[in-house]
Each structure stands twice: as structure tokens, then as C-alpha cells.
Amino acid sequence: MKGKRLARLLFTGCMLVFAISLQGCGSKKDNSVTEIEIVQYKREASNYFKMVEKAFNDTHDDIHLVINSPNDASAILRTRFIREDYPDIVGIGGDIEYSYYVDAQILADISGYKGLQDIKQSYRDIDESLELVPVEGTFAIPYMANAAGILYNKDLFEQNGWKIPNNWNELLTLCKQIKDKGILPFYFGFKDTWTCLAPWNAIAVGLTEPDTVKKVNRGETTFTKEYAEVSKKYLSLLEYGPGSPFAYGYNDACTAFARGEAAMYPIGSYAVPQILSVNPDLNIDSFVMPASDNSDGNTLNSGIDLQFCVTEACENKEAAYEVLDFLFEDENIQAYADAQNAIPCKEGNFKLASMLDGMKEYIDAGRMADFQDHYYPSEMSVDALLQTFLIEKDVDNFLETFDNNWQRYNRDIIRMVKEYEQNNKE
């Protein structure tokens, strides 16, 4: 008898829970209102997007805007794509993920959208070149760019009278000076492999052509040739970092830099909020990685951090454009730039965050080039290859592995590129 009673109890409990939960469903939305859903991947900007969502819905009766800012957005987007549950607009970075989406024909051609006219040409060009093979049409509207170089502790620099370096030799001299004072020149958080890419990108951008990757895919050159100098220079920075850089993660590095344990931290502007959360009074500025041997040969590493794409599945493109119009209003762009220390991709006189002062000259002059890693397929794990390289310090072996892996992981893309070349020659 005991068993039956127990079983019945469990059944009843089960039914009860069902009944309660079913009541929750049932509120349906009004049909006259178009719903536009954005999924954007910058989790750290979720507060900004919440504000935008509210402001938009307060002023629009015919469109209801929903903005989701999930963590791990790329996994979420993939599972939603496979379910054919497409958001209307996706906010993604200008990297290979975008290239794949264009290739998969998930994104709609928005060349008819008039807001595109206001976007700086250099960023629109980046989007063009991200396409695996040139495709007719425009599939994204760049929103914000980021910049990576070297963050430095302004107070430390002023106290000691250190000068901002303009070329590679000056950088090494500066590092020696700092080290002589008993201060650690750089902090690295190489335990988190992705941070290995930040200095790499910043050095590579000054020493290689922006289309290096495309050239390799076309079989015109190899990474062994293109990345030799980059690798050697990167390696020579290691001795100015902490003794065991692979023990510390990104978070450790941010905390250490915030506490004044190092004078410089080679990372992107995105790290500033995390650093300031530990030490709000820290005076941070940045400068361009002086990778070149010539003082006027440097280039700022800047790419598209966030762009919006309308999906092919979006039923009401006009409504989507209206949402985009709102997002691209100067006032909202300024608010985003302030909150995230980002660089607007739109033409106009926007005020940049103070920690970008050291880069302003490059931004205004347009002396910028995209991150190399935006062209690397993530499954190749170049970040992990770099970490291995920095541990083993074997340049030749690293470059050979890089080239071999590249051919292996990009086999289908290289074939596509070759086919395209063939067809367009004829």
C-alpha cells in the first residue's frame, strides 16, 4: 500500500505543477504590431541595448522591438538557425563568422538601405573584403569599431617622464627604461589564449598587408614568409612581461594593471571597463603599437566590433530599417561610444573616450587596418597556436605549423577561392 500511496502522491504533484505552469501561457501579441527581434553578441553592452529597446518602444506604436544580448551568442544563433527560427536583425562582429553567414546566404542584401551612405567608406570596405569570395550586394552595416594597441598607466608615465614610443626600437628602449626603474613594463594574461591574439594583431597590422590572408588563399604567398618578422618581434616582448605569463588569465592581468603592477598592457580598448571596475581612479591612455622600424610606418589596428545584418528571413524589411535608423541616430551612437569606449563607424563629429586620445590622430587620418584574426577560422585555434609558440619560442616550427594548419582548416574555402579565380579569368 505504501508504494501506491507514494506513487499517487508523486503523480498528483506532477499534474499540479503542469496545471500551474500551463496557466502562464496564453498571452498573445496584437497582430497590427510588427515585432522586430535583434540578437546581438556584445553581452557587455546589454545595458545600452536595454535602454535603446525601451526608448524605441516608447516612441513607436507600430513596431515592437526586442533586443537580446546573450552570452555565447554564436552558439545561440547557430541553434536558432538550424531550427529556422531567425531573428530579424543580428548584431555580430566583422570577422569570419560574418563571412560564413554571407556565404550561407542567411543575410539579406541591404544595399537599398539609405543609412549606408553615412558610414565611413573604410569600414564598408572591410565588410567587402571579409566576403570569402566577392558577392554582389551589401550584407551588413557597420556600427562600432574597436582599436587595439597598448594601454598604459598615464600617471606612471608622467611621474617618470617616459615618452610614447614611435617605432620598434623606441618601444624596446622604453621597456628597458621601465624595467630599470624596477617596474614591470608589460602585463600579459596568456592563460586565456585569446589574449595572445591582441599583441599579435597589433604587431601584424603594421608589418603585413591587410590582404595577406587572401593572398595565401590564392596561393601567392605563405605565412612563413609574411609572419616571420611579426613572430620574432612578438617573442622579444616576452622578456618584459611577468615571469610566468601563462599562469595569469585576462582577469588577473586586468586586475594587476589596474593595481599599478605594470606600466603597460597590450590589449584592446574593450578591456578598459573591466580595469576601471577594479580601480576607478586609474588614469588610462593608449598608443598605437609601434611595430614598424620607421616612425611613420605604423598603422592602427582597428576593425568592426559590432555591425547589424538583416536576415533573409525577416518579413518586414521596412520595419527593420526603421529600427536601424533609430540605432544609428547620432545621440544613440554617442551613448554607445561613451559606454563602451568604442569608435563609431558613422561619419560625424563624435566625441571619443579619453583613453583613445593616443590613437585619435590615426583614426582621423584613417591610418587603420583590420585585425588579421578576423580572417582566421576559429576552429584552427590560432590563439592556442600562438600560446604554444610563446611557450616553446620556436619561430620556424610555429610558422610551419601555421601554414600546414591553414591549408588543412581552410581546404574548402581555398577551393572556393580558386574556382572563383578560374571562372573570373575566363
Partner 1 sequence: MKNDRKRTCLLITIPILLLFITFNTIPLLRGVVYSFTNFRGFGNYEWVGFRNYIDLFSDARVGSSYIFTIKLAIVTTIVVNVISILLALALNSKIRAKGFFRGAYFLPNVLGALVVGYIFNYFFTYLVPALADMAGTGALKSSILAEKNTAWIGIVVVCAWQAVAMNTIIYISGLQTVPEDVYEAGSLDGATGWKKFWKLTFPLIIPFFSINMVLCVKNFLMVFDQIMALTKGGPAQSTESISYLIYNNGMKGGQFGFQSANAVVFFIVIVIISVAQMKFSGKKEEQL
Partner 2 sequence: MIKQKINSTWLPTILLILGLSTIAFPLYMTIVIAFKQPSEMSNTISGILSLPKHWSFDNFREAMEVTDFWRSLGYSLLITLVTVVLSILVHSMIGYVLGRNKNHNKFYGFVYLFIVSGMFVPFAILMMPLAKETAELGLANWFGVILLYVVFYMPMNIMLYSGYLVNIPLALEEAAKVDGASTWRTYWQVIFPLMKPMHATVAVITALAVWNDVMTPLVIMAGSGVNTLPLAQMNFQSQFGTNYNLAFASYLLSLIPILVFYVICQKQIINGVVNGAVK
Point out which residues bind partner 1 (CB under 8 A).
74-75, 78, 81-82, 96, 100-101, 103-106, 191-193, 243-244, 246-249, 252, 377-381, 384-385, 387-388, 391-392, 408-409, 412
Query: Which partner, partner 1, partner 2, none, binds residue 1 by CB below 5 to 8 Å per kind?
Result: partner 2
Q: Which is nearer to partner 1, 10 or 391 (CB)?
A: 391
Cβ(93)–Cβ(63) below 8 Å: no
- According to CB under 8 A, which one of 19, 23, 26, 82 is a site residue for partner 2? 82
Q: Which is nearer to partner 1, 191 or 346 (CB)?
A: 191
Q: Which is nearer to partner 1, 362 or 398 (CB)?
A: 398
Grid cell 538601405 is found at 113
- According to CB under 8 A, which one of 30, 62, 72, 364 is a site residue for partner 2? 72
Q: Which is nearer to partner 2, 256 or 309 (CB)?
A: 256
Cβ(148)–Cβ(286) below 8 Å: no
What is the distance between the alpha carbons of residues 186 and 237, in angstroms, rounded to a whole number?
A: 8
Query: Which partner, partner 1, partner 2, none, binds residue 21 by CB below 5 to 8 Å per kind?
Result: partner 2
Query: Which partner, partner 1, partner 2, none, binds residue 104 by CB below 5 to 8 Å per kind?
Result: partner 1
Does the footprint of partner 2 cover residue 74 (CB under 8 A)? no
Build a one-symbol-per-residue string for 28-67: x at contacts with partner 2 by CB under 8 A, - elsewhere. Answer: ---------x-x--xxx-x---------------------
**Distance linking the first and last C-alpha atoms of the chain:** 85
Residue type at 41 in one-letter notation? Y
> What are the b/e assignments for 331-363, b being 16+ CB within 10 Å?
ebbeebbeebbbbbbbeeeeebbebbebbeebb
Residues 6+ apart with CB under 8 A from 80: 39, 86, 87
Strand-pairing partners, residue 186, are: 264
What is the distance between the alpha carbons of residues 216 and 401, in angstroms, rounded to a whole number?
A: 15
- Hey, what's the cell of 259? 593595481
Cβ(306)–Cβ(93) below 8 Å: yes
CB of 180 to partner 2, least distance (A): 24
Q: Which is nearer to partner 2, 63 or 262 (CB)?
A: 262
Q: Which is nearer to partner 1, 350 or 409 (CB)?
A: 409
Which parts of 237-256 interact with partner 2 (CB under 8 A)?
251-252, 254-256
Q: Which is nearer to partner 2, 246 or 420 (CB)?
A: 246
Q: Which is nearer to partner 2, 254 or 368 (CB)?
A: 254
Query: Which partner, partner 2, partner 1, none, binds residue 103 by CB below 5 to 8 Å per kind?
Result: partner 1
Residue 214: count other Cβ atoms within 10 Å of its Cβ.
15
CB of 279 to partner 2, least distance (A): 7
- According to CB under 8 A, which one of 173, 277, 397, 404 is a site residue for partner 2? 277
Grid cell 622578456 is found at 239
Return the DSSP state at 137.
S
Nearest to 311 by CA among 71, 77, 129: 77
- Hey, what's the cell of 361? 590622430
What is the distance between the alpha carbons of residues 54 and 47, in angstroms, rounded to a whole number?
A: 11
Residues 6+ apart with CB under 8 A from 264: 150, 151, 152, 153, 178, 185, 186, 187
Build a one-symbol-per-residue string for 173-202: x at contacts with partner 2 by CB under 8 A, - elsewhere. Answer: ---------------------x--------
Pairing of strands 343-344, 300-310: unpaired
CB of 386 to partner 2, least distance (A): 17
Reduced to 3 states (helix: H, G, I; strand: E, B; else coil), residue 36 is strand
What is the distance between the alpha carbons of residues 122 and 346, in angstroms, rounded to a whole number?
A: 11
Query: Which partner, partner 1, partner 2, none, binds residue 109 by CB below 5 to 8 Å per kind?
Result: none
CB of 3 to partner 2, least distance (A): 4
- According to CB under 8 A, which one of 1, 136, 182, 426 is a site residue for partner 2? 1
Binding site for partner 2 (CB under 8 A): 1-4, 6-7, 10-11, 13-14, 17-18, 21, 37, 39, 42-44, 46, 68, 70-72, 75-76, 78-80, 82-85, 87, 194, 251-252, 254-256, 259, 261, 270-271, 273-274, 277-280
